[in-house]
C-alpha cells in the first residue's frame, strides 16, 4: 500500500490498483471511466480551479453559490448533493441500502461494503457524481432525472447481457437488488 497524496486524506493507506480499476469493474461506459480518472488525478476542473484560469466568473458552487466549488463540496457537502444522495437512498430502500457518503468514498468509491453489492453500489455512486457534475450548468439537480439516468443504464446493460448467457448471469448478480423496484418496469 502507498501513502495517499490527497490532502484531505493524509493518513489513508490506498490500494491504488483497486481504486483505479474500480470504474473498469463497474461500467463499460468510457465517459464515466474517464470522469473518475480525472477526479482521481485532480484534473476534474471545478469552479475553484476554473476561476483561477479566468474561465468562470466565480469560484463558488454552481448550486448553492455559498462555498468554493471543490470535489469535496460538490459531491459531499453541498446541500443540493446531500439532499440528492439522501433522496436516492430513500428511493432504493428497502431493496438496496446505500451507505452514507463521505469525502473518502465520494472520491475513491466504496470498498468496505458487502461484496455482492460492490459493483452496483459503486456504479450508482459513479452515476450520481457524474450526474451532479453534468448538472452544474443547469444549476439544479433532480432525483427523477438521476433515476432516469440509472434506469437507462439498467436497460442498456440488460439488453447487452441478453446476447450472452455468461453476461446475463453477471447482470442479474449485479442488478438483482434494483430489479425489485421501479427499474424492472
Q: Where are the domains of the chain?
A: 2-142
Q: Model confidence over 120-172: pLDDT tens digits?
A: 999 999 999 999 999 999 999 999 999 999 999 999 999 999 988 888 989 99
What does each of the 185 residues of the chain score in pLDDT, given as a tens digit? 444 545 666 555 668 889 999 999 999 999 999 999 999 998 999 999 999 999 999 999 999 999 999 999 999 999 999 999 999 999 999 999 999 999 999 999 999 899 999 999 999 999 999 999 999 999 999 999 999 999 999 999 999 999 888 889 899 999 998 864 555 44
The sign of the CA dihedral 21, 23, 27, 31 is negative
State the distance between the two ends of the chain, measured CA to CA, in whole angstroms. Answer: 43
Q: Computed over its alpha carbons, how large is the radius of gyration of the chain?
A: 17
Res 1: pLDDT: 43
The sign of the CA dihedral 154, 155, 160, 165 is positive
Q: Which three cell numbers stand for residue 175?
A: 442488478
Res 166: pLDDT: 83
Res 97: pLDDT: 95
Instruction: Report H helices in the chain.
Output: 16-26, 30-40, 47-52, 71-72, 79-92, 103-108, 118-134, 143-161, 165-175
Residues 6+ apart with CB under 8 A from 149: 127, 131
Res 16: pLDDT: 82
Res 10: pLDDT: 58
Pairing of strands 13-14, 2-3: antiparallel
- Residue in this structure with the C-alpha cell 474517464, named with its chain if needed: 34
- Residue in this structure with the C-alpha cell 444522495, named with its chain if needed: 85
Res 177: pLDDT: 86
Amino acid at each position: 500500500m502507498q501513502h495517499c497524496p490527497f490532502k484531505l486524506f493524509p493518513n489513508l493507506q490506498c490500494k491504488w490498483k483497486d481504486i483505479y480499476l474500480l470504474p473498469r469493474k463497474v461500467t463499460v461506459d468510457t465517459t464515466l471511466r474517464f470522469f473518475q480518472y480525472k477526479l482521481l488525478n485532480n484534473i476534474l476542473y471545478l469552479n475553484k480551479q476554473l476561476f483561477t484560469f479566468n474561465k468562470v466568473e466565480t469560484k463558488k458552487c454552481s448550486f448553492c453559490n455559498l462555498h468554493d466549488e471543490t470535489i469535496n463540496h460538490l459531491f459531499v457537502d453541498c446541500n443540493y448533493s446531500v439532499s440528492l444522495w439522501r433522496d436516492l437512498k430513500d428511493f432504493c430502500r428497502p431493496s438496496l441500502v446505500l451507505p452514507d457518503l463521505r469525502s473518502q468514498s465520494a472520491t475513491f468509491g466504496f470498498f468496505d461494503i458487502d461484496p455482492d453489492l460492490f459493483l452496483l453500489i459503486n456504479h450508482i455512486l459513479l452515476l450520481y457524481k457524474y450526474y451532479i457534475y453534468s448538472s452544474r450548468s443547469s444549476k439544479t439537480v433532480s432525483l427523477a432525472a438521476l433515476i432516469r439516468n440509472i434506469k437507462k443504464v439498467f436497460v442498456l446493460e440488460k439488453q447487452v447481457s441478453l446476447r450472452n448467457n455468461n453476461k446475463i448471469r453477471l447482470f442479474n448478480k449485479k442488478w438483482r437488488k434494483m430489479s425489485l423496484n421501479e427499474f424492472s418496469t
